[in-house]
Amino acid sequence: MNRDRTILLAILALLAIAAAIPAATAAGIPDDLSPGFTFSENFYDVYGKPNLTAAIVGDAEFDRGDEVTLTIDLINRGVVLGFESDRMPDGDNEEDLADMELGYELQQVNAIGITAMLIAPEESPIEVKSGPQQAGSINGDKGERKTARFNIEIDENAPAGTYPLVLATSYLYQKNAQVSGNVSDSRTDVNLWYDTLDQTQVLYITVKKLADFEVTNVSSDLRAGEDGRVLSITYQNTGEEAATDAVARISVTDPFSSTDDQAYLGTLAPGESVTGIFVLDTDSSAAIKQYGIDTEIRFKDATGESKISESMTATVTIAPLIPTSEKVKPYILPVVLLILLVLVATGVRYYLTNFAGNRNVPRTDEQDD
């Protein structure tokens, strides 16, 4: 997936989550305003807001088919940028009130009641299994942090590459503060104005390159009651990485048995196919139908680490048992001809021995006196 497409998918996901997170407070007098808040008695306006930044904790590279829990660090990097005076305090009591208000105003960089949601763009091979998570509150003046955890599942057929995940956060923050009363008599009213702040940011995870396999062809001459029959299975590396020292293995159950259930395939580059040869015996009582034989490949990846592929199925069909009469039928005519030849040869030999030889002996008609 190229970078432009990744960014486009992330933008589409940002638009899709608009309805899923709480809406910001409408312009004008907010709902989250203390009833006693009096704008004309406000001493200061402070500039600065919470600013949550997120990062995936640990390794963000995974294999296709993985089901993992992502731990995401949420750090509040909000800072007070400055403040200005709305009006000057008049007298000692108002000076005390102004100092008290400023102390409250500086808390507006704190993120309160954070809700975090992780979303995968449409058509992504990543599925987020967890719903919205509550992360509590994070103060900004000290750069505090909290964690949120989300379970994700990566499709078994996910191509290798980098994929975006959109983290949406929504929380309250103190937008303004106003105090009134008499500080010296410890009779003060504190009025706070809260507003909602929504943030979205894109995190990335990587699906690692890996060899992957599928069965592309199966041929056999399996027959009920026959031993030593050949099963040929062709495997193709459909992944993005070469597999070395690959060995295919079949798992057979009744009505099959085998003492030759492994085949060395060697190195399979991406897109390359290799055929493994196995020898099977088939029980004479085997039903004449199709059977599925499980097969897998053990191999080494680019780092030399041993891996085992997902289980695959090779479909084979058993041919019927051949009756003994059918087995010998092809040999009947040759045997009869051989017997006839033997009889003819024996007759010729007998004739030559007993008759043809006597013709060559001279006959004597008269006896000597």
Q: Is 142 exposed, middle or buried (0-12, 13-18, 19+ CB in 10 A)?
A: exposed
The reported pLDDT for the residue numbered 369 is 46
**Which two three-digit tokens encode residue 313?**
């199925």
Q: What is the DSSP letter of 1?
A: -
The reported pLDDT for the residue numbered 167 is 97
The reported pLDDT for the residue numbered 144 is 87
* Whether 206 contacts 162, CB under 8 Å: yes
What digits encode the pLDDT tens for the residues 151-164? Answer: 999 998 899 999 99
Element (H, E) at 316: strand 312-317
**What's the pTM value of the predicted model, to 2 decimals?**
0.66
Separation between Cα atoms, residue 357 and residue 224, nearest integer Å: 59
- Structural domains in the chain, CATH included, are 3-207 (2.60.40.10), 213-317 (2.60.40.10)
Separation between Cα atoms, residue 212 and residue 309, nearest integer Å: 7
Return all residues near 157 (Cβ < 8 A) that are at least 6 apart: 64, 125
Residues in the chain with pLDDT values less than 50 = 1-3, 6-9, 11-29, 368-369
* Whether 117 contacts 167, CB under 8 Å: yes
Q: Is 293 exposed, middle or buried (0-12, 13-18, 19+ CB in 10 A)?
A: buried
